[in-house]
């Protein structure tokens, strides 16, 4: 299936390339409605305004398109750092498929995530989900199950404590919730699909996590790069009804080792200089701090073209 997907995406890239200039670059994203599609669209818009002629190429999920970026089938992608690290080393759902040519362009704002339920339900905490029908499976998006495991662990539960509702992806999980098949769904704050669900059911509640050292330890057993972020209610955060803490982890724009240094340098420059442009496309970029694009990413490495840009700015420390 991965091979068929790769060939389909490659065909799309080649077809586009016949009508575009040699400067056209592709950015792999997940499906419309997802956080990575929103991020990729914002990055592509900024790149286009800077003269890079970027186009997005959606696929079901990062675990499908990360290996395609590694192979050189497309120049850039957006994903979470943990999944890129797993792919790089061939661990977890990438077992037996090492992707050694993945390289990081830069860190963007963290992905802040929650389990959402109806605002008018009697579910106010993650523990209240026990025994209820809840989305599970995620056969096309392996990254979601350990994130659910991490959240449930902070409430002393496992996925076995819920009645599983099998879905292939986060978008399908949100659809199952809207249809009434599940009492909740997992998604990133600020994503278009969350706003759609909020409107469809007459309001959402995002279930918080208590920010303790023990809860962080429990969460990191399943998702090593996890941390907690405090959010306040706002127009772009449906479900956040009061100040509360939620599960978070780093997001990245990434590439492969053989993309020319000058092209990666240009993309890094676009990211660093285009916060306002990207925020107009996707408001979550208001939380993006360009000076935080350099950070701890091990075992991943930065692309030399990105390093050159960061050294010129004085952000790079050997």
Confirm whether 214 is domain-assigned.
Answer: yes
Cα separation, 248 vs 109, whole angstroms: 10
- Residue 259 and residue 233 share a domain: no
Instruction: Count Cβ atoms below 10 Å from residue 35 Cβ, excluding itself.
Output: 26
- Residue 231 and residue 125 share a domain: yes
Confirm whether 212 is domain-assigned.
Answer: yes
Confirm whether 85 is domain-assigned.
Answer: yes
Q: What is the pLDDT of residues 63-105, one digit of tens each?
A: 889 999 999 999 999 999 999 999 999 999 999 899 999 999 9
- Residue 13 and residue 92 share a domain: yes
Point out the domain boundary residue: 225, 247, 269.
247
pLDDT at 192: 85
pLDDT at 23: 65
Q: What is the pLDDT of residues 232-283, one digit of tens each?
A: 999 889 999 999 999 999 999 999 999 999 999 999 999 999 999 999 999 8
Determine contact, residues 99/254, Cβ cutoff 8 Å.
no
Does 19 sit behind a cis peptide bond, omega within 30 degrees of 0 on the bond before it? Answer: no
Point out the domain boundary residue: 209, 225, 247.
247
Confirm whether 282 is domain-assigned.
Answer: yes
- Residue 15 and residue 101 share a domain: yes
Tell me the whole-structure pTM to 2 decimals: 0.80
- Residue 14 and residue 52 share a domain: yes
- Residue 14 and residue 129 share a domain: no
Confirm whether 57 is domain-assigned.
Answer: yes
The CATH number assigned to the domain holding 55 equals 3.40.190.10
Mean pLDDT of the chain: 91
Low-confidence spans in the chain with pLDDT less than 50: 1-22
Residue 196: which domain range? 117-247
Point out the domain boundary residue: 200, 225, 247.
247
Task: Determine the length of the chain.
Answer: 318
Confirm whether 7 is domain-assigned.
Answer: yes
Determine contact, residues 300/66, Cβ cutoff 8 Å.
no
pLDDT at 74: 96
- Residue 40 and residue 16 share a domain: yes
- Residue 47 and residue 15 share a domain: yes
- Residue 134 and residue 22 share a domain: no
- Residue 89 and residue 34 share a domain: yes
DSSP per-residue codes, the chain: -HHHHHHHHHHHHHHHHTTS-TT-EEEEE--TTSHHHHHHHHHHHHHHHTT--EEEEE-S-HHHHHHHHHTTSSSEEEEEHHHHHHHHHT-GGGTT---TTEEEEEEEEEEEEEEEEETTSS--SGGGGTTSEEEEE-TT-TTHHHHHHHHHHTTT--GGGSEEEEESSHHHHHHHHHTTS-SEEEEETT-HHHHHHHHHHT-EEEEP----HHHHHHHHTT-TT-EEEEE---TT-TT--SSEEEEEEEEEEEEETTS-HHHHHHHHHHHHH-HHHHHHH-GGGGG--GGGSS---TTS-B-HHHHHHHHHHT----
pLDDT at 191: 85
Confirm whether 318 is domain-assigned.
Answer: no
CA-wise closest residue to 253 among 72, 114, 75, 23: 75
How many structural domains are present in the chain? 2
- Residue 182 and residue 144 share a domain: yes
Beta-bridge partners for 106: 253
Confirm whether 191 is domain-assigned.
Answer: yes
- Residue 269 and residue 162 share a domain: no
């Amino acid at each position: 299936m991965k091979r068929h997907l790769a060939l389909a995406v490659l065909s799309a890239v080649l077809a586009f390339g016949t009508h575009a200039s040699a400067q056209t670059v592709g950015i792999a994203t997940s499906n419309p409605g997802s956080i990575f599609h929103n991020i990729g669209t914002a990055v592509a818009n900024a790149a286009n305004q800077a003269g890079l002629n970027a186009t997005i190429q959606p696929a079901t999920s990062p675990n499908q398109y990360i290996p395609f970026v590694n192979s050189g089938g497309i120049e850039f992608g957006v994903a979470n750092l943990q999944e890129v690290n797993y792919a790089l080393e061939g661990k977890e759902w990438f077992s037996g498929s090492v992707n050694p040519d993945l390289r990081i362009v830069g860190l963007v704002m963290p992905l802040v995530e929650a389990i959402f339920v109806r605002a008018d339900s009697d579910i106010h905490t993650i523990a209240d989900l026990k025994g209820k029908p809840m989305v599970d499976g995620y056969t096309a998006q392996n990254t979601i199950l350990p994130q659910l495991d991490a959240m449930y662990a902070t409430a002393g539960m496992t996925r076995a404590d819920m009645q599983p509702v099998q879905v292939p992806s986060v978008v399908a999980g949100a659809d199952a919730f809207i249809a009434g098949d599940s009492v909740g769904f997992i998604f990133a704050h600020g994503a278009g699909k969350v706003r759609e669900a909020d409107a469809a059911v007459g309001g959402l509640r995002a279930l918080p996590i208590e920010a303790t050292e023990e809860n962080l330890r429990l969460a990191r057993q399943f998702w090593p790069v996890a941390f907690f972020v405090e959010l306040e209610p706002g127009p772009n955060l449906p479900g956040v009804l009061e100040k509360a803490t939620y599960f978070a982890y780093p997001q990245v724009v990434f590439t492969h080792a053989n993309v020319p240094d000058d092209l990666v340098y240009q993309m890094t420059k676009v990211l660093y200089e285009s916060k306002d442009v990207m925020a107009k496309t996707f408001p979550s970029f208001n939380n993006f701090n360009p000076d935080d694009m350099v950070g701890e990413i091990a075992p991943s490495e930065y692309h030399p073209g990105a390093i050159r840009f960061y050294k010129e700015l004085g952000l790079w420390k050997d």
